[in-house]
Amino acid sequence: MQELHEVLKSIDGLIGGAQWFAYLLLFTGVFFTIYLKFPQIRYFRHAIKIVKGKFDKSDDEGDTSHFQALATALSGTVGTGNIAGVALAVYLGGPAALFWMLVTAAVGMTTKFVEVTLSHKYREKTADGTIAGGPMYYMKNADFNFFGKKLNFKWMAVLFAIATVFSSFGTGNLPQINSISNSVLATFGVDRWVTGSVLAVLLSLVIIGGIKRIAKVTERLVPAMAAIYLIGALSVILFNYENIIPSIISIFSDIFTGTAASGGFLGSALIFAFNKGVGRGLFSNEAGQGSAPIAHAAAKAHEPVSEGMVAILEPFIDTIVICTITGLVLLSSGVWNEKHINVFQNTDTHILSRVYDENNKVDVDQLFNYLNYNEPIELFSGQLEVKEGEITNDLSVIHARSIAEDVVVLKDEAPFTGNIEVNEGNLIDPNNEYQLEGKSLVHSAPLTTIAFTKSFFGEFGQYIVSIGLLLFAFSTAISWSYYGDRAMTFLFGPKSVIYYRLFYVAGFFVASFVDTTIIWTFAGITIALMTLPNLIGILFLRKEMKSTVNKYWDDFKQEYPNEKTPN
């Protein structure tokens, strides 16, 4: 399994994990923003009117309302990325990374507008009477011309649909329930298989009812979970009100320089903050991935552009609003650059050959270059000498990009005495016998959890994060079941859906108590295999997109002559 994981990491590093992938996503968003003259700004107010149902018609064809489609799409994107992803971005890139997340969301609003409009335009009614749509349908049905030569993109449609099925497990299913069960175990002491059993039953009751039941659940679940999370977040921000202005300033002050060392944080270079902010922003809102168009395709509408405008609101709510609030929670509480007692992860741990002092500028500069530019540093190799849990060698331990303090080595949950082999900074521990604990930076959901305790709720704030994770991750699993459902319908027809749903629920249960580390890496590959054909497709259809938007406004002005229009 370890060898397979290394192979998958290598593949992911060539596509989804490569820098060019983030640049392609940004380029697509920036291109359409300019090409369509900033629709995320000009059409924003109009999009709100559409969601409210102001222009609905009784004979509009579809399975859900505009709001239900938006809620379903949001339930797929508002999840662990908003809680853990923001914390990971700030931990890696400092406050400046949050700025690049917001920039990514701003251009992502246009990407969502384009992909949803085109997917909605080519949606179909299936044999069972339900509406099916998504990028695979425009790839199959649209006319793609390259210098007068017609191209066949049906093979890309099949690739996208297959990747969507696998990604529904790798993104929306297995890691989500694993996060839920681990969080519930840590906070409430409930066994993981119990959590998995209960939620698997609830999941089956929701998804068996199809999109109409999914939409009814998500339109209630999304506002409820957002309200719970926002109450907890605002209690942190207001409790630390004196840090609000400095926190906002810190987001913008270092965007072109990177973030300097501060507290336990050893600093972040501009390019590092940029890459991590962009990467986390894309993970959070899924703009360009092609998942949201599948949800929006079911919306009742007599033409596609109006639903595309509804999709503009999605990255705004998901990233610009919720992720900004999470960022302010982390910054105002001050926990992002503080060291906290935690259990060290081997992959985040490096043992250096000498003692480093974070108050020594020379040492900090050397560590900065090592962490940001992969410049060589002398790593320890040899025998790590441990007496009653304390390391007696003169060296430093780096964990979570910080110099660890008060490090204790445990074996069988007791202080260890003896020697441990170390090779180039890594413990030789094939059987996972040893455990290191101490004070270091923390990241992802644990960092957000700590931040939520710095509020009016005190230690009870951690329960808000646990409940938020549960609701966010569960709603993501619901939405992704529908994405996989529509992909199976495209590939094998409506009769295949029941078998997919059975596997989806079974996988959801099993993943509640098994390690899914390899699944996260596999998910990165399938996300890239969804995104690449989708981006290529919408770029080829740029002229059709512009003409479709222009026709929408021409028709709208004739039908609603008294309405002010931005076009």
Identity of the highest mean pLDDT range in 320-324, 385-389, 508-512: 385-389
231, amino acid identity: I
Confidence (pLDDT) at 379: 95
Rounded Cα gap, residues 411 and 419, in angstroms: 12
Instruction: State yes or no: pLDDT of 400 exceeds 80.
Output: yes
Residue 398: strand, helix, or coil:
strand
In this structure, the dihedral spanned by the alpha carbons of residues 518, 521, 525 and 530, taken in order and rounded to 10 degrees, is 100
**Given pLDDT bands bounded at 50, 70 and 90, which one contains residue 178?**
confident
Confidence (pLDDT) at 499: 95
Question: Which of the two residues, 566 and 28, has the higher pLDDT score?
Answer: 28
Confidence (pLDDT) at 408: 96
Q: Bridge partners of 262?
A: 265
Confidence (pLDDT) at 357: 94
Give the predicted TM-score (pTM) of the model: 0.86
Angle at 243 between CA 242 and CA 245, to 5 degrees: 95
- Provide the mean pLDDT of the chain: 89
Confidence (pLDDT) at 517: 64
pLDDT average, residue stretch 507-534: 82
pLDDT average, residue stretch 236-250: 95
Q: Which domains does the chain have, with CATH numbers?
A: 2-134+154-338+452-559 (1.20.1740), 341-440 (no CATH)
**Given pLDDT bands bounded at 50, 70 and 90, which one contains residue 83?**
confident
Confidence (pLDDT) at 128: 80
**Given pLDDT bands bounded at 50, 70 and 90, which one contains residue 116?**
very high
272-296 pLDDT, tens digit per residue, is 888 778 877 776 788 889 998 998 9
Residue 209: strand, helix, or coil:
coil
Question: Which of the two residues, 20 and 247, has the higher pLDDT score?
Answer: 247
Confidence (pLDDT) at 347: 77
pLDDT average, residue stretch 87-112: 91
Going by their DSSP bridges, the two strands 405-411 and 402-403 should be labelled as unpaired
Task: Tell me the CA distances in angstroms from 535 to 25, 428, 461, one per residue in order.
Answer: 8, 43, 40
**Given pLDDT bands bounded at 50, 70 and 90, which one contains residue 549?**
very high
Confidence (pLDDT) at 88: 84
Buried/exposed code over 385-412 (b: 16+ C-beta within 10 A; e: otherwise) = ebeebebebebbbbbbbbbbeebbbbbe
Rounded Cα gap, residues 427 and 350, in angstroms: 8
Confidence (pLDDT) at 204: 93
Confidence (pLDDT) at 115: 96
**Given pLDDT bands bounded at 50, 70 and 90, which one contains residue 11?**
confident
Rounded Cα gap, residues 453 and 464, in angstroms: 9
Rounded Cα gap, residues 112 and 119, in angstroms: 10
